[in-house]
Structure 1
Amino acid sequence: MFTGLIAGVGRLGSREARGGDVRLTINVGTLPFDGVALGESIAVNGVCLTVVEFDATSFAVDASNETLALTTLGGLEIGAPLNLERAMLPTDRLGGHLVSGHVDGIGHAVRRWDDARAVRWRIEAPMTVLRYVAHKGSICVDGVSLTVNAVDATGFELALIPHTIEHTAFHAMREGDAVNLEVDLLARYVERLLATKDA
């Protein structure tokens, strides 16, 4: 489980085909990396992945074909900046919102504009994601817990403050880029409960 508060920005170091899927090596960059362990979960652009190898400056993860098909990880270029977060501890503050690292869909950053010191973005998203997006609700975009400023039938808007831009990979985001989206866990569970209440 994660909070959506990015702990560091790393980069995609390599992509290696292995037995029909892929092993990715991630350079940790600014991620605090002390005490890392094999089998640990790290969110990479919002995707929960398992550490299978590591050294002092990088870690390797195996990405299944499903992960590559349902997230942006398969299309990233070597050297692409990545939002990184290690799994939360029971004693951590929950400053963002509960994030599982299970991507619900891919959106596209279609418009950027300045709003005082903030940067506003419009993200277009599939209806399978938008049905869970609420005005002033939470959404996870490339692993970052953000507040929805507006939502309509085709997408939603975000406002990124200077701190968020400086300390995440959003500083490199361009119009047209694909992003991983994870909806608020509570919205999913509420829908499931309502669907089964008469069962």
Structure 2
Amino acid sequence: MSRLRTIVLAASALVAVAATPALAQSTFDGGYVGANAGYDWFNAHQRATVGGQQSTPSHETQGFNGGLFAGYGQTVYDNIYVGAEGEANFYTGDRTYGDALGSYRVQPNYSAGVSARLGYVVQPDLLLFGRVGYQHTSIDTTNALTGGASRQYAQDYDGVKYGVGADYAIDEHLFTRIEYDYTDYSHSTRDLAGGQLRTTPDESQVRVGVGIRF
């Protein structure tokens, strides 16, 4: 939790900086809203333990995702851009796999998060940025270990998201976006009939989007 607290404090600091009178201005200054879509690779990194035996089924759940985002940013000095952004996403990935110790179904459901963005206005119509923030996600799973009945449940995870991307201004208000993000989530341990299952997920995604500044 300490690193999540650090992320939140860093995001708050960037928002405070962005709210101060700007030393520079760019096309990307101000508030904005938008929508995105992309492709997602979600790996649960599960470890099953049954009767003293262990296995590490590690298959990616892949699928399309889509969501909404909104934020605020400001060019503060020498084309340096700082801001904060919130987002909500939904997933289509759904995968079932198995091994000698059981069967596993992983289905990411939705996620939401906040992040700080730091960037540089390379050209009047091009902003390159990096992001770091807090992400919360919910996963539907169905697991059955050897010797036990199948169990279905939803599990929530918190993690730290890192990303890089670019915004391109089509005109004064409309912009497009492309980015890559990686999220490292917390872990969970479930006692199931016949054994135990530990899940330590991470996620990679590529997204494109379109937004409107106001």
TM-score normalised per structure 2: 0.22
Q: Which structure would you say has the larger Rg?
A: 2
More helix by share: 1
